[in-house]
Structure 1
């Protein structure tokens, strides 16, 4: 059940799909009904919300601004309906977090465990998804907070914290690069590599750096999940890349690998961010957990469970 007006609900679906026909199919209503509601909304506001094309629709600036408002309203109404049905009141003790793979390995689960030490009645839902999907879930109110990597400015979310995270090579123990403080891209590319797929931020920056250096690379393994990459390295298959969220020193030798930072400025173009929806009223638990994630991200000892600050 949604409390937002029908016109806004229809508007959001057209904005998401870029088509009245597709929106009608998703909502199981006639396209003419959606067109009437959109026209009524535009007439009432006094400005066009979409630019009509022969095959689809794109939002105007006013439409983009209305989307942000409508998504906040939709998220608030869904939360209110849940509160009314469950009787839990405004102080909801559950938090939904979306994060990309690097954050899901240690950083976010360790923060959740630390938070529950002081607040054992708080429950978490953690969704590990691609970086753009983590942001989308916050934008659309599906997740309370996102922890993800980004490149370039973010317009539809509130960036609670942004930090440039160094990138390190995962190297097997006993490897000729083990024990080094830093390694260049040229040195790295002389060994078999396990890399993420081209759509990931880390791979995009790696490919840019390789192109700038005039290097030729043919990955030995392409995989977005970290666990298989660690096993590949540990078993002697090659070298992989990972963002240093503060858990590398602790995890290294116990997993049969070590970590060496990669010395190249191209990786400074990527930020680790904690994101929430602009203007959305988060529950007490979600607000405090977001604060904890922010404090951990800016800490030099990011993600080390033994040094987690006590949540308030």
Structure 2
């Protein structure tokens, strides 16, 4: 059973897949039925919702606004149905979090543990996904909150908090750079490096910085997962990079490595963000957890230096941000 009108359900699936035929396969209905509903919806609203291309469809500006509304309606309807079916109503206390891997190492699990210390009846689901996927899941109501990195404006989500996170080099204990407060990109490039793939924001910014400085960097290891990079460093294979989500404060005792800040302005183009769905009223547990997560984000108290900002107005696009 669904509470969202059929026309909006069909509209949502065409917007997601970019194709009437793909949407028909997913929904197990005839393509003609979807086409009729979309045409009827456009006629009723008096505006086109899609731009038709030879190989697919993309939403118009009006379609984008309706898409945001439809996503909110879908998410809230699903939550209501779950409450009605389980009979637990307001007692349902579960929170789904999507985050990129860097946040999953310490910040998000620590926030979950602290929250359950006060509210042991609340349960969590944690999905570790690429940064863009975390944002998509919140925008589509799959997750309640996302903790991720971003570069550039975020139009499809509400940015509860955004903080510029410094980048640190991970070096083996006893390394020549261990104990240094800061190092330059030039010093970093003198050693074998373990880096993420070119699709990650950190690697993108690293490559820009290297190009600006006229440096040459040849990664010894390319890997998007953090665990292999840490073991590579601990085993003496080279140096890796990580966003400093509290790692420098933790010190070497927990990870068996040392952290050294990398000093270059290029890395300031990326922000760590806590994101929720635009216009959605989150359940109590998700709202309270989001506030706790914001408070635990490193650098959250540094507003005077411009390092953080509070949640943005739902009616406005956030400022440019950054894995």
Q: Do they superpose with TM above 0.5?
A: yes
Alignment TM class, shorter chain as reference = over 0.9
Residues 167-186 of structure 1 show CA distances to partners (whole Å, capped at 9, x for unaligned) of 00001111111111111111
Following TM superposition, by how much is the alpha carbon of 1:300 offset from its aligned partner in structure 2, in angstroms? 6.1
**TM-score, structure 1 as length reference:** 0.94
Following TM superposition, by how much is the alpha carbon of 1:42 offset from its aligned partner in structure 2, in angstroms? 0.4
- For residue 49 of structure 1, what is the aligned residue in structure 2? 49
Following TM superposition, by how much is the alpha carbon of 1:238 offset from its aligned partner in structure 2, in angstroms? 0.3
Distance 1:283 1:136 in 2: 19
Structure 2: 5+ residue stretches without partners: 303-323
Following TM superposition, by how much is the alpha carbon of 1:224 offset from its aligned partner in structure 2, in angstroms? 1.3
Residues 72-109 of structure 1 show CA distances to partners (whole Å, capped at 9, x for unaligned) of 00000000010011111134211000000100011100
SS in 1 for 2:109: helix
- For residue 204 of structure 2, what is the aligned residue in structure 1? 204
Which residues of 2 match residues 116-135 of structure 1 at below 5 A?
A: 116-135=116-135
- For residue 177 of structure 1, what is the aligned residue in structure 2? 177
Distance 1:33 1:258 in 2: 60
SS in 1 for 2:89: coil
Which residues of 2 match residues 1-312 of structure 1 at below 5 A?
A: 1-297=1-297, 299=299
Q: Is the 8 A contact 1:91 1:283 kept in 2?
A: no
Following TM superposition, by how much is the alpha carbon of 1:69 offset from its aligned partner in structure 2, in angstroms? 0.2
Following TM superposition, by how much is the alpha carbon of 1:197 offset from its aligned partner in structure 2, in angstroms? 1.1
SS in 2 for 1:125: strand
Structure 1: 5+ residue stretches without partners: 303-312
**TM-score, structure 2 as length reference:** 0.91
Q: Show structure 1 runs of 4+ deviating over 4 A.
A: 298-302
Q: Is the 8 A contact 1:100 1:134 kept in 2?
A: yes
Are residues 299 and 271 of structure 1, via their aligned partners in 2, closer, same or farther at CA, if it must alter by over 3 Å?
A: closer
Moved more, 160-169 or 225-234: 225-234
SS in 1 for 2:180: coil
Following TM superposition, by how much is the alpha carbon of 1:298 offset from its aligned partner in structure 2, in angstroms? 5.4
Number of equivalenced pairs: 302
Moved more, 212-221 or 155-164: 212-221
Moved more, 82-91 or 190-199: 82-91
Are residues 301 and 156 of structure 1, via their aligned partners in 2, closer, same or farther at CA, if it must alter by over 3 Å?
A: closer
Following TM superposition, by how much is the alpha carbon of 1:45 offset from its aligned partner in structure 2, in angstroms? 0.6
Are residues 74 and 24 of structure 1, via their aligned partners in 2, closer, same or farther at CA, if it must alter by over 3 Å?
A: same
Distance 2:80 2:254 in 1: 46
Are residues 238 and 301 of structure 1, via their aligned partners in 2, closer, same or farther at CA, if it must alter by over 3 Å?
A: farther
Q: Is the 8 A contact 2:172 2:234 kept in 1?
A: yes
Q: Is the 8 A contact 2:163 2:299 kept in 1?
A: no
Distance 2:46 2:301 in 1: 52
Q: Is the 8 A contact 1:92 1:284 kept in 2?
A: no
Residues 32-51 of structure 1 show CA distances to partners (whole Å, capped at 9, x for unaligned) of 10000000000111110011
Following TM superposition, by how much is the alpha carbon of 1:299 offset from its aligned partner in structure 2, in angstroms? 4.5
| RMSD (CA atoms) | 1.4
Distance 1:164 1:255 in 2: 23
- For residue 311 of structure 2, what is the aligned residue in structure 1? none
Distance 2:55 2:141 in 1: 28
